[in-house]
Amino acid sequence: MSAAVIIDEGGRLLLVRKAGTSAFMQPGGKPEAGESPAQTLVRELAEEVGLRLDEADLVPLGEFSAPAANEPGFEVVADVFRVGIGDQTPVAAAEIAELRWVTRAEASEIDVAPLAAAYFLPEA
């Protein structure tokens, strides 16, 4: 899978919650046949949060793993990218029920997926 680290000017991380789930996680998703991790993320960000990007907007951060938020007993392995979105404003679309910009302190008040909680919540 591919996931995005999108930080706003206030240092907050963008998290999304899919319909029918409680955990907030980084936007992204699973690849379709033949897609590279970067292609997957560009497609998923367009579908899920309406961002129009290309691969040049993505900076690879590496491969990370953590327990899956919505599938007990499974582990998620994600190719993670830092993503610059310019002046675009993400909006919840497709299966996304809600999006939030959160600091580490605010994240303690919501259910955050292990991948985001372990590696990507901002320090401030």
Report the run of H or E that residue 48 belongs to, with start and end.
helix 37-49
Query: Taking the chain (124 residues) in consecutive chunks of 10 residues, what is each chunk's mean pLDDT?
Result: 96 96 96 98 98 96 95 94 96 96 92 95 76
Structure tokens at 64: 């990370």
Which option is the CATH number for 2-119: 3.90.79.10, 3.40.50.11820, 1.20.120.1200, 2.60.120.510?
3.90.79.10
Query: Looking at residue 124, what is its pLDDT?
Result: 56
Structure tokens at 55: 């691969």
Residue among 3, 8, 4, 11 nearest 103 (CA):
11
Expressed in angstroms, the distance from the first to the final Cα of the chain is: 27
Residue pair 91/46 in contact by the 8 Å Cβ criterion: no
User: DSSP secondary-structure letter at 96?
Assistant: E
Helix (H, G, I), strand (E, B) or coil at 75: strand
Backbone dihedral angles phi then psi of residue 31, each to the nearest 5 degrees: -75, 150
